[in-house]
Amino acid sequence: QKEVEQNSGPLSVPEGAIASLNCTYSDRGSQSFFWYRQYSGKSPELIMSIYSNGDKEDGRFTAQLNKASQYVSLLIRDSQPSDSATYLCAVNPEERVIIFGKGTRLHILP
């Protein structure tokens, strides 16, 4: 069974520090990887996608992918209270299928 694993948290990080969110997946053939942010009571919002090994940076966000280790992470630099949310890792193991992790709750401490 294809799975995406995340630590549920909560992960507490001081304001201004780097928040590191991790995700592992089971399907070695997966090609596309996504990070979504979900605020309480709202639907998920796509914030990053990554397709090849290495780092991808977008503003304060950096996604890191290691296909050999089946590991994808999201770094948030200069964490702000507004970054407090649940972050969902998602993996595309085959066409038209996306598997979501259960999410990691991130709490930025002011």
Partner 1 sequence: GAVVSQHPSRVICKSGTSVKIECRSLDFQATTMFWYRQFPKQSLMLMATSNEGSKATYEQGVEKDKFLINHASLTLSTLTVTSAHPEDSSFYICRSGGGGTDTQYFGPGTRLTVL
What are the residues binding partner 1 (CB under 8 A)? 32, 34, 36, 41-46, 49, 88, 92, 96, 98, 100-103
C-beta separation of 79 from 13 below 8 A: yes
Pick 15 or 51: Cβ nearer partner 1? 51
Give the C-alpha distances (Å, rounded to integers) separating 43 from 38, 64, 84, 104: 6, 24, 15, 15
Contact 103, 7 (CB under 8 A): no
Q: How far is the CB of 100 from partner 1 (least distance, A)?
A: 5
Question: What is d(CA 91, CA 43) in angstroms, rounded to the nearest whole number?
Answer: 18
Q: Specify the residue, 40 or 69, whose C-beta has the smaller distance to partner 1.
A: 40
Closest contact distance (angstroms) between CB of 16 and partner 1 is 27
Of 19 and 101, nearer to partner 1 (C-beta) is 101
